[in-house]
Amino acid sequence: MAGPAPIEQVRADVAILGGGICGLWTLAHLRAQGYAAILCEGGKLGMGQTLRAQGIIHGGLKYALDGALGAASQALTAMPARWRASLQGEHAPDLRGARLLSRHQYLVAGQGWGSRLAGLFASKLLHGRVAALDAERIPEPLAAALGPSARHAVYQLEEPVVDVPSVLEALAHANHEALLAINPEATRLRYAAGHVAGVDVQSPSGQRLEVLCEQVVLCAGAGNEALGRLMPTGAAPMQRRPLRMVMLRGALPDLYAHWLGAGATPRVTVTSHRDSVGRTVWYLGGALAEAGLDREPLAHARTARDALAAQLPGVDLSACALAVLDVERAEGRQAAGLRPDGPVLHHSDGVTQLWPTKLAFAPLVAEQVAARLAQRGVRPGHQLLLDTRRWPRPTVGLSPWDEVTAWH
């Protein structure tokens, strides 16, 4: 009978557990600064929240629609420009291999919003982040969908929309030698004198590895809860906020827009995507996704379709296939379960537990992790001597529209 697999040992500066957008961006950022960093993923890259995001790089505008330019809006202000710099290859990480779906997200508002938005968008904080469009400047797909008799105000937002799988692919390709596929059930944190000293991992086939390092970063979304229990101090408090997203598949134009209803939260947010065989899929979020939790899934999808049809007389939605996807947002816990204004990071004995809150915050999270290393005096000091060719590498997971099989 064969004994246990031999244990291989490697020294690094940082071990990252979790391969969503923040794990991969942080890995790229630290390696660019000279750190020997390694990322371990127990499933597919992006599995969970990242791949279920709509891909909008928010600039905070939708959080300012109530007229209060609060912390969430201000924290997001710099993110679109930061992402654009990477998408254009002007700033590391180089994301020129990723697909930009739309240079802008649009905001469609009814007549009652005109004066309210005019005053808000005139503020210094929002200057340059939004532009009112006259009828001739509305992009053709959106103008045609709204119909010739539409009485809407349309605004162009400085918020690009990215194809999330291609972003993950670009980051993974550039850092492939530092990625390890692991068995999440066999992961253990290693401590010495009350401080983290590394992490023990195992490949899906049973290979064992001790990663000796000075810092461990947990960025596994909802998985942080289980990983945090490996720490003597326990997991940092986390909250879950569910959504019920809707998808429409059919002969659809490419739309990227928020629709405002009576409240200050977009009633529905639409982004457009292609499935694995090239069909167009609309992915619907916004207040609609939160309201759908109390509805039967198919009834929720039909309600969403009918609400959109009323707003888009220029598009026939009657033949579209419908699907629903439940998404659970894992976040650092806040008072009364409210949405955090920005990323949430907890530090304890050399372990950082983090939740990015938004896809757009990935660059900021990476910089905050690097700042924490500098604060602790952790400097790049090791050359990663590990032949990862013997280890399986994690691959990018499926997009929601390819993951879901129940279309109606």
Give the pLDDT confidence of 17-27 residue by residue, as tens digits: 999 999 999 99
Nearest in space to 365 (alpha carbons), one of 348, 382, 340, 384: 340
The CATH number for 340's domain is 3.50.50.60
Residue 114 neighbours by CB distance under 10 Å: 13
Distance CA 397, CA 97 (A): 18
Token pair 């229990």 is at which residue? 229
The type of residue at 29 is H
- Quick check: is 55 in a domain? no
Helix (H, G, I), strand (E, B) or coil at 191: strand
Helix (H, G, I), strand (E, B) or coil at 218: strand
- Quick check: is 158 in a domain? no
Nearest in space to 308 (alpha carbons), one of 262, 263, 250, 248: 248
Which pLDDT value is given to residue 194?
A: 93
- Quick check: is 183 in a domain? yes
Helix (H, G, I), strand (E, B) or coil at 237: coil
Helix (H, G, I), strand (E, B) or coil at 199: strand
Which pLDDT value is given to residue 384?
A: 66
- Between 362-376 and 79-87, two packed helices, what is the crossing angle to 10 degrees? 100
Domain boundaries, position 221: 7-49+167-238+334-403
Q: How do 105-109 and 266-274 pair as beta strands?
A: unpaired
Which pLDDT value is given to residue 128?
A: 65
Which pLDDT value is given to residue 387?
A: 67
Q: Do 211 and 201 meet the contact criterion of CB atoms below 8 Å apart? A: yes
**Global confidence as pTM:** 0.94
Q: Do 11 and 212 meet the contact criterion of CB atoms below 8 Å apart? A: yes
**Please, which residues bridge with residue 281 across strands?**
249, 273
Helix (H, G, I), strand (E, B) or coil at 176: helix
- Quick check: is 192 in a domain? yes
* pLDDT one-digit tens code per residue, 92-136: 999 999 999 999 999 998 766 665 666 566 555 566 678 889 889
* pLDDT, tens digit only, all 408 positions of the chain: 455 667 788 899 999 999 999 999 999 999 999 999 999 999 999 998 999 999 999 987 776 675 555 665 677 889 999 999 999 999 999 999 999 999 999 999 876 666 566 656 655 556 667 888 988 999 999 999 999 877 788 999 999 999 999 999 999 999 999 999 999 999 999 999 999 999 999 999 999 999 999 999 999 999 999 999 999 999 999 999 999 999 999 999 999 999 987 666 789 999 999 999 999 999 999 999 999 998 999 999 999 999 999 999 999 999 999 999 999 999 999 988 888 889 999 999 999 999 999 999 999 999 999 999 999 999 998 666 666 678 899 999 999 999 999 999
- Quick check: is 173 in a domain? yes
Distance CA 219, CA 26 (A): 10
- Quick check: is 18 in a domain? yes
Nearest in space to 270 (alpha carbons), one of 321, 322, 308, 318: 308
Which pLDDT value is given to residue 5?
A: 66
The type of residue at 110 is G
Which pLDDT value is given to residue 344?
A: 95
- Quick check: is 286 in a domain? no
What is the domain count for the chain? 1
Rg (CA), the chain: 22
Q: Which tokens in the block code for residue 231?
A: 């720490």
Distance CA 163, CA 324 (A): 20
Measured in whole angstroms, the distance separating CA 302 from the mean position of its chain's CA atoms is: 27
Torsion angle in degrees (nearest 10) through CA of 327, 273, 164, 43 = 50
- Quick check: is 25 in a domain? yes
Distance CA 397, CA 400 (A): 9
